[in-house]
């Protein structure tokens, strides 16, 4: 990984790739087709995020993992059953950020997965895909929830590249467990 040395000084967030704290299996799995579903649930306050909590929300663990069946369906609607229809509404915005301003949290990012598309389709097509057709999911404090492999490609190709981000107005400490629970509840299998 010596080729990264020049980037580590100029762009310290590249080093976070190798020092991130979240293992792949602990990351949320949110497919592109799931983004609108997540966005709508957050904007409408359907996920129980804040006090007062619904009767069936555990205040010590409001974002349980591995939910399925009835429990999963209940999790996706609890925010409307807590007595306050507005407390759980979260602003979600489309923003444009320079890739160098994002902070990755995933510990394992695979070079072959990051550059496989570039090797197959070429640099120009990859840049176009990442900068124009791709969507990254970020917290309000610029932590990356989804898009780590595309992030690696972008940061190495052009750290100044502006990318499309769905910014969820939650800090990473709340967004990460909530999005993991969401991915589990809608039936997405985690990476291993």
Q: What b/e readout covers 153-185, taking b as 16+ CB neighbours within 10 angstroms?
A: bbbbbbbebebbbbbbebebebbbbbbbbbbbb
For the whole prediction, is pTM greater than 0.75?
Answer: yes
Q: What is the pLDDT of residue 180?
A: 95
Q: What are the residue ranges spanned by the domains of the chain?
A: 2-185
Q: How confident is the model over 88-129, as pLDDT tens digits? A: 999 999 999 999 999 999 988 877 878 888 889 988 999 999
Tens digit of pLDDT for each residue in 141-173?
A: 999 999 998 999 999 899 999 999 999 999 999
The CB density around residue 112, as the number of other CB atoms within 10 Å, is 8
What are 69-85's pLDDT values in tens digits? 999 999 999 999 999 99
Question: What is the per-residue pLDDT for 71?
Answer: 96
Q: Which residue has the higher pLDDT, 109 or 41?
A: 41
């Amino acid at each position: 990984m010596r080729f990264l040395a020049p980037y580590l000084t100029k762009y310290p967030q590249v080093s976070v790739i190798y020092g991130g704290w979240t293992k792949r299996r602990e990351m949320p799995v949110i497919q592109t087709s799931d983004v609108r579903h997540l966005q709508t649930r957050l904007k409408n306050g359907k996920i129980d995020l804040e006090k007062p909590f619904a009767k069936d929300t555990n205040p010590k663990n409001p974002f349980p993992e591995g939910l399925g069946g009835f429990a999963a369906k209940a999790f996706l609607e609890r925010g409307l059953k807590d007595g306050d229809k507005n407390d759980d509404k979260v602003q979600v915005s489309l923003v444009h950020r320079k890739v160098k301003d994002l902070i990755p949290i995933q510990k394992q990012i695979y070079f072959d997965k990051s550059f496989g598309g570039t090797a197959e389709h070429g640099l120009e097509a990859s840049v176009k895909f990442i900068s124009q057709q791709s969507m990254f999911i970020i917290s309000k404090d610029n932590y990356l929830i989804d898009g780590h492999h595309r992030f690696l490609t972008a940061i190495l190709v052009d750290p100044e590249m502006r990318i499309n981000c769905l910014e969820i107005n939650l800090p990473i400490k709340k967004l990460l467990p909530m999005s993991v629970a969401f991915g589990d509840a809608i039936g997405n299998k985690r990476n291993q």
